[in-house]
């Protein structure tokens, strides 16, 4: 397990110092990628460690978001999360089931803090991927469906500037998640939006994937 190292983190809610495992970038070897962008690696998958959970107060969020908590959010976490929290650590090597618990905690924290739909959708998509690793089709579908609804709302209502998902990739995911969930007409309409996007040539991988998946759904 020397693919992993311990990252020290300070909880922005309760100031507790704790550590969380990370996969060394130098150890990442891509094995394959699914059409909804889930990447498989030889060895540990970094998606399993994408959420930090404070063992003391229960605050959980993704790495990018973790330290960005204001005073009001801090008191919401204390009131709605910490009061129900029983001390529990996720600092070691995580099983897929433990990773699922971490993402569900992050989803709950993100909901009580009214974080953006795009952020919550990304968490649901990762939950779907974790259930895919377990071959749990029912839960995979359930979370793909949550992700799709949240991405749909994000696309309609939110500015995605400065987020980790760009507009082309988000549009592509809307198409592909609709395809996976059997919404053929919606998938076709979103795929056509992806390939006709004025900036599509800046994303050659997405362009190629979108054409492949678009053909696949039209053939059915």
Residues that bind Zn ion (CB under 5 A): 11, 13-14, 16, 54, 56-57, 59
The per-residue DSSP string of 69-109 comes to --HHHHHHHHHHTGGG-------SPPPHHHHHHHHHHHHHH
Closest distance between Zn ion and the C-beta of residue 12, in Å?
8
196 vs 178: CA distance, rounded Å: 18
Beta carbon nearer to Zn ion, 61 or 165: 61
Place of tokens 């469906």: 145
Closest distance between Zn ion and the C-beta of residue 192, in Å?
46
Beta carbon nearer to Zn ion, 56 or 160: 56
Closest distance between Zn ion and the C-beta of residue 77, in Å?
8
3-state helix, strand, coil in the chain (%, to 5): 55, 10, 35
Beta carbon nearer to Zn ion, 89 or 212: 89
Closest distance between Zn ion and the C-beta of residue 13, in Å?
4
Joined together, the tokens standing for residue 168 give: 């082309």
Beta carbon nearer to Zn ion, 58 or 121: 58
Closest distance between Zn ion and the C-beta of residue 11, in Å?
3
* Bridge partners (DSSP) listed for residue 10: 17
Q: Sort strands 60-62 and 51-53 into parallel, antiparallel or unpaired.
A: antiparallel
Beta carbon nearer to Zn ion, 107 or 168: 107
List of long-range contacts for 16-19, beta carbons under 8 Å, 24+ apart: 16/54, 16/55, 16/56, 16/57, 18/54, 18/55, 18/56, 18/89, 18/91, 19/91
């Amino acid at each position: 397990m020397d693919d992993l190292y311990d990252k020290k983190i300070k909880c922005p809610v309760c100031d507790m110092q704790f550590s969380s495992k990370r996969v060394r970038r130098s150890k990442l070897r891509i094995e394959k990628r699914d059409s909804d962008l889930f990447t498989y690696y030889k060895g540990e998958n970094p998606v399993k460690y994408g959420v930090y959970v404070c063992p003391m107060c229960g605050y959980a969020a993704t790495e990018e978001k973790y330290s960005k908590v204001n005073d009001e959010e801090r008191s919401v976490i204390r009131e709605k999360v910490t009061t129900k929290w029983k001390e529990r650590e996720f600092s070691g090597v995580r099983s897929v089931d433990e990773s699922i618990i971490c993402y569900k905690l992050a989803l709950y924290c993100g909901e009580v803090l009214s974080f953006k739909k795009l952020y919550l959708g990304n968490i649901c998509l990762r939950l779907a991927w974790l259930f895919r690793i377990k071959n749990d089709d029912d839960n995979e579908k359930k979370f793909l469906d949550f992700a799709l609804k949240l991405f749909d709302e994000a696309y309609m209502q939110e500015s995605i500037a400065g987020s980790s998902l760009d507009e082309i990739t988000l549009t592509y995911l809307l198409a592909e998640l609709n395809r996976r969930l059997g919404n053929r007409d919606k998938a076709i309409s979103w795929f056509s939006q992806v390939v006709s996007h004025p900036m599509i040539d800046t994303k050659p991988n997405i362009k190629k994937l979108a054409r492949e998946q678009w053909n696949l759904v039209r053939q059915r």
